[in-house]
Chains A and B, each alone.
Chain A
Amino acid sequence: MIKIENLHASIEDKEILKGLNLEVNAGEVHAIMGPNGAGKSTLASVLAGRDNYEITEGSIDFDGNDLLEMEVEDRAREGLFLAFQYPVEIPGVSNINFLRTALNDIREYRGEEAISAKDFMARVREKSALVELDAKLASRSVNEGFSGGEKKRNEIFQMAMLEPKLAILDETDSGLDIDALRIVANGVNKLKSPENAIVIITHYQRLLDHIVPDVVHVLYDGRIVKSGPKELALELEEKGYDWIKEELAQA
């Protein structure tokens, strides 16, 4: 589905990603963990197409397309979805209006007809129920005045509406209470299929109790320095990252 090779990215002449490799196949769930400032959100932003990063080396293949050559919206239309660590508040733009425009722009790109008002509303009802998002929130301005947890839930609601091939969840679990965590995890699990893939960026094991990863990666200092089975997440939570740093120093 996606193959990242030797990715180098810098911002304001500071190199953040320093030769990152990662391959995710359809049907898989990958978790990425790593200390603060390691470059996890940077990776997510580069994948989504944020243009303030300079890509100095490397390549990203997304389902046969050169991702780095694609416009932000075309990445989304081809099925890439980023649940933002910090979702943006957009006063005056209703969630509903925004999502209808998004769906229709995507459909137009794919040469499909616009969604009817009736089908759209049915979909909104179905998907907001999936993440137990209050119907009132669906019609409010995008993220405006939402609590931290509501914003995260709204990201997953959007994911459900757009049904992406590859979803990257950047710390979607932070700010969620226990119940919300379970609800969001259930929502994500229901969206999981053999055709799509999910990358979960997180600091904690608890989300991974609900969404079980096939692989856990450690992103440290701009690279994936260790990959392992789901038990690696438990080990990291117990022992922190020092032992990994030591391993690296010895190597």
Chain B
Amino acid sequence: METINKTSHAFISDLNPTEIGIHPSVLEAANETLSSTQIPTTRVEAWKYTRVAQLGKRKFQKGSDSVDSIDGFRLENTQGPLVFVNGQFSEALSDTSSIAKGITAQPLSSLGSNALPTSIVPLHHELFHAINTVHLNDGVRITIDKNSQHKQPVHIIHVVSGEDVMANFKTVLHCGAFSEAGMVQSFVSLNDSNGFVNATHEIFVEENAHFNLDKIQNESPGNTHIGTDQVVQDANSVFTINTITLNGGLVRNNLSIEVKGQNCETNLNGAYVLDGKQHVDNHTTVDHKVANCVSNELYKGVIDDHATAVFNGKVFVRQNAQKINAFQSNGNVLLSDSGSVNSKPELEIYADDVRCSHGSTTGQLDEDAIFYLRARGLSEKSARRLLVSAFIGEVIEKISYPASKEYVFSVLCDRFGWNFD
């Protein structure tokens, strides 16, 4: 197995096997996937519009485990942060003392041989997920105690830094029954080039729990980021994820949410702003297995220059999942002639008493609106900015926590001059 491994995936052959206490059966399954699975080509349906084959020609290294400072990334009114550099926990940069009672947030590396006892969701032939397991640098396990309630989110910062670095990073979250809490996760860059962040999430939202996740991606334009996020919701729970992609070279977000219990609410919002040659691909799945649930999905993107965006959103409503309300919408604005969008919202409904809708739009800014604004004295640039801010603002407004919202506002203002008020 070792040899096949090395020959078929030379790009990770310099990486060490994980030292995290992963259960042998999980590790074995991941190794099996690794040795039997090629990097997906664009002939594989799920990767049709996202070219990752060239990653195979590169050579990634383990990165350093510290940076000088994370000052620009701290957020007010959050707990933590727990800081990871190139996948590795940095005790020096972290502040675990501010984590409230009722929440346990620990690096996986501190949990000994029992850090990851099981992988609750089996992922067959998911190469990047398997790599994440086999070469896991570190990660964080967060447990919200049953009944405990928290206004301030836990802040996790992941920094990629250095050249040709690969970071394999994992977040495991358990939201106890009747708990209310949240997390802000910042994926950022510092003096990096050609890095690869391969991150996974496993999130369990138990009965009657409420959990919000603001996932903010602001890595450098040379970076590759593949995220594989899996969420399982038990009855009467509410789960909200806001995935905001502000920067990055090639970004692929796989998000799959399994709604296992009745009376759940699921909110998935996404915003992406791209320019240059950036490529952002959001693949989402909401699987309604049981009746009486609601899911709302809104993804919006602004695409400039030669950038490309991909949206693929699947909603399954299984046979006995009656009275499901599922809404899905993807909107894109193209600011240039050479940008492009591939948007595919999909509904697969096997129940008969459901209310579902989906839609996708891709277009330019409304020229009549631009004329109207200019006729009031706005420069063409101001007019376009105002319209773009309004368009993407609908998603930004949904960000769960003021701290992450402010951060997003400031990045968009610095980078594009967009204002939101």
Which residues in A have some Cβ–Cβ distance to B below 8 Å?
48-50, 71-73, 75-77, 82, 84, 87-88, 90-94, 97-99, 101-103, 105-106, 109, 141-142, 158, 162
Contacts and interface: CB of A to CB of B under 8 A. Distances in A.
B394 A105 contact: no
Given A98-B386, A101-B378, A162-B377, 5 more contacts: A73-B377, A75-B375, A76-B374, A97-B421, A99-B376
Contact of A90 (B373, B379, B421): B373
A94 B394 CA distance: 13
B375, B376, B394, B419: residue with the most chain A Cβ atoms closer than 10 Å: B376
A142 B373 CA distance: 10
B91 interface: no
A210 to B, nearest CB: 25
A87 B374 contact: no
B372 A102 contact: no
B387 A93 contact: yes
Interface of B: 366, 368-369, 371-380, 382, 386-387, 389-391, 393-394, 419, 421
Contact of B372 (A88, A99, A141, A162): A88
Given A97-B386, A97-B421, A98-B386, A90 B372 contact: yes
B363 to A, nearest CB: 13
B390 A88 contact: no
Given A91-B390, A92-B393, A93-B390, A49 B376 contact: no
A184 to B, nearest CB: 18
8 contacts: A73-B378, A76-B377, A90-B372, A97-B419, A98-B373, A105-B379, A141-B390, A142-B372
A102 B385 CA distance: 13
Contacts of B419: 97
Contacts of A77: 377
A87 B376 CA distance: 12
Contacts of B382: 101, 105
Looking at chain A's contact residues, the main secondary structure is: helix
A142 B394 CA distance: 15
Nearest to B373: A98
Contact of B374 (A73, A94, A142, A162): A73
A188 to B, nearest CB: 17
A2 to B, nearest CB: 16
A105 B371 contact: no
B373 A92 contact: no
Contacts of A90: 366, 369, 372-373, 387, 390
Nearest to A48: B375
B377 A105 contact: yes
Given A92-B394, A93-B386, A73 B380 contact: yes
A100 to B, nearest CB: 9
A132 to B, nearest CB: 21
A92, A97, A141, A162: residue with the most chain B Cβ atoms closer than 10 Å: A92
A82 B371 CA distance: 11
Contacts of B368: 88
Contacts of B374: 49, 71-73, 76
Contacts of A94: 421
Given A90-B369, A101-B382, A76 B390 contact: no
B376 A98 contact: yes
A72 B375 contact: yes
B380 A92 contact: no
B375 A49 contact: yes
Nearest to A50: B371
Given A88-B368, A88-B372, A90-B369, A73 B386 contact: no
B208 to A, nearest CB: 35
A109 B381 CA distance: 14
A97 B369 CA distance: 15
Contacts of A72: 371, 374-375
A143 to B, nearest CB: 9
B397 to A, nearest CB: 9
Contacts of A75: 375
B376, B377, B387: residue with the most chain A Cβ atoms closer than 10 Å: B377
Contacts of B391: 92
A73 B389 CA distance: 20
A35 to B, nearest CB: 25
Contacts of B390: 90-93, 141
Nearest to A72: B374
A194 B375 CA distance: 24
